[in-house]
Chain A
């Protein structure tokens, strides 16, 4: 890329002076960069410190992505200063460099990593073998277990993932991606003897994860702490009993008196554990309470909807069919009845054919329900046979609606009716 040669870049660096305090501000430096593909952000910082502002503070040690001291936020994304080339950033844009999120700022780009290491320590980040044999345990490099853990052991504790995770901000006790990733490498290790203890330390934290994958996106070692967190959750699902049986507080005290110093310290680890225990209990009660309440509400609504209609007396409705003259005397006529039924929040319209028979002698009217009394198919009048026929199963009814053939168990149903103002009304229940 020829464009990347001898380019000018404006570098904005966050400055905070502890002797002044306040919110901090950005300083601007104008730099000529000879070859962007060969210049890292760390090179820029060193150059600025040597040639422009010797008071600029930042951390670094190895310069080759191994020590994890140079984690910072470059153009809005967490990254290692020594791993990010200027050419990795969009061409010609200004470069903004600021310290990591969620850590107190000591000076300029230097943050206090104490919270990070406290939380890492609380996840019991060391290996303690199940058996005390002196032989080194062997894990074959091609075994399933080793492949599962994969490169998750490569974490350099740079803190990028913790800075990128928004949940660290909202949940004070959240151990954070790096600590959980470390715990995962040991939980998945069959040789390790502290499974239960570690599980109890970290499981609660795993549920703070909201699957945002921010940590996975930024990790300079291409580790996915999200994957680690999900794996721990799955492990807990597979062995819920083992978790319950645990006496949560005992092992810590035992270990403490035995004098292993790298165990979680009293202030960070143990209180945390007790708190988690109480919290778990409290959460259980809350969830049970909410569950019961919502079950009652939903149950109530369903019950009311199921039983309600049959308890309520539905008033008889008169449905207007047509003018009386529309039904010729001595004929069988079929008309579609337009019935509007109130149903909860809305009204439903039911269209249903009815048969009206008007006889001359005497002036007698019968309104038949067209549903066959067998299985409800619609019957029709057959003029030649002088019968009502049902096409479905061969049921037949005579003029009075009595069964003459087929399976129907009773005569055709009739509607009560009324004649008012020359209109014929059917009475529907």
Chain B
């Protein structure tokens, strides 16, 4: 039978609005993606501070930590993009890389101060 009047669809849900549980779908990889964007903005901010007020330890600290963090997340994407790491290990890869970043950070920081 022909539909007599047009059915009114509800527009697509975009990110599970209304759903109290929607944050449960934020998987590890998505956090990695999100934090890389956040750290990118933070780098611009701290870099500006670093240039205008040179050699202030706290600014150097924050800049270095965001740069290192951003870099390891970028490394993750490179490794996965070029299939250098089996995607089976995608979640542990993140942990390893962030740990590596913390180590690099500590070495550089010790080198400066």
Q: Out of A77, A213, A218, name the residue touching B90 (CB < 8 Å).
A: A213
Chain B residues within 8 Å of A352, by CB = none
Q: Are A103 and B18 in contact (CB under 8 A)?
A: no
- In the complex the two chains form, what is the Cα distance from A99 to B13 in whole Å? 8
Q: Out of A16, A166, A210, A227, name the residue touching B10 (CB < 8 Å).
A: A16
Interface string of B1-37 (1 = CB under 8 A from A): 0000001111111111011111111011110110000
Q: Are B77 and A76 in contact (CB under 8 A)?
A: no
- In the complex the two chains form, what is the Cα distance from A234 to B84 in whole Å? 11
Give chain B nearest CB distance to A162 CB in angstroms. 10
Give chain B nearest CB distance to A159 CB in angstroms. 11
| Interface membership of B80, Cβ < 8 A | yes
Q: Are A76 and B22 in contact (CB under 8 A)?
A: yes
Give chain B nearest CB distance to A277 CB in angstroms. 24
Give chain B nearest CB distance to A348 CB in angstroms. 11
Chain A residues within 8 Å of B90, by CB = 213, 216
Q: Out of A21, A77, A100, A212, name the residue touching B33 (CB < 8 Å).
A: A212
Chain B, 51-91, CB within 8 A of any chain A CB: 51, 54-55, 76-77, 80-83, 87, 90
Q: Are A21 and B8 in contact (CB under 8 A)?
A: yes
Chain A residues within 8 Å of B20, by CB = 12, 96
Chain A, 46-103, CB within 8 A of any chain B CB: 73, 75-78, 96, 98-103
Chain A residues within 8 Å of B7, by CB = 18, 106
Q: Are A101 and B16 in contact (CB under 8 A)?
A: yes
Q: Are A166 and B30 in contact (CB under 8 A)?
A: yes
Give chain A nearest CB distance to B59 CB in angstroms. 13
Chain A residues within 8 Å of B33, by CB = 210-212
Total chain B interface residues with beta-carbon distance under 8 A? 35
Chain A, 203-226, CB within 8 A of any chain B CB: 210-214, 216-218, 224, 226
Give chain B nearest CB distance to A223 CB in angstroms. 11
Q: Are B27 and A214 in contact (CB under 8 A)?
A: yes
Q: Are A104 and B10 in contact (CB under 8 A)?
A: yes
Q: Are A230 and B15 in contact (CB under 8 A)?
A: no
Query: Which residue, A12, A19, A105, A211, has most C-beta atoms of chain B within 10 A?
Result: A211
Query: Are A234 and B82 CB-contacts (below 8 A) given A16-B10, A106-B9?
Result: yes
Give chain A nearest CB distance to B1 CB in angstroms. 17
Q: Are A213 and B27 in contact (CB under 8 A)?
A: yes
| Interface membership of A233, Cβ < 8 A | yes
Give chain A nearest CB distance to B70 CB in angstroms. 15
- In the complex the two chains form, what is the Cα distance from A166 to B7 in whole Å? 27
Chain A residues within 8 Å of B11, by CB = 104-105
- In the complex the two chains form, what is the Cα distance from A216 to B25 in whole Å? 12
23 contacts between A and B (CB under 8 A): A14-B18, A16-B10, A23-B10, A76-B24, A98-B13, A98-B16, A101-B14, A102-B14, A104-B9, A105-B9, A105-B12, A106-B9, A166-B30, A211-B76, A212-B29, A213-B87, A213-B90, A214-B25, A214-B27, A218-B25, A231-B83, A233-B81, A345-B54
Interface residues of B (CB under 8 A from A): 7-16, 18-25, 27-30, 32-33, 51, 54-55, 76-77, 80-83, 87, 90
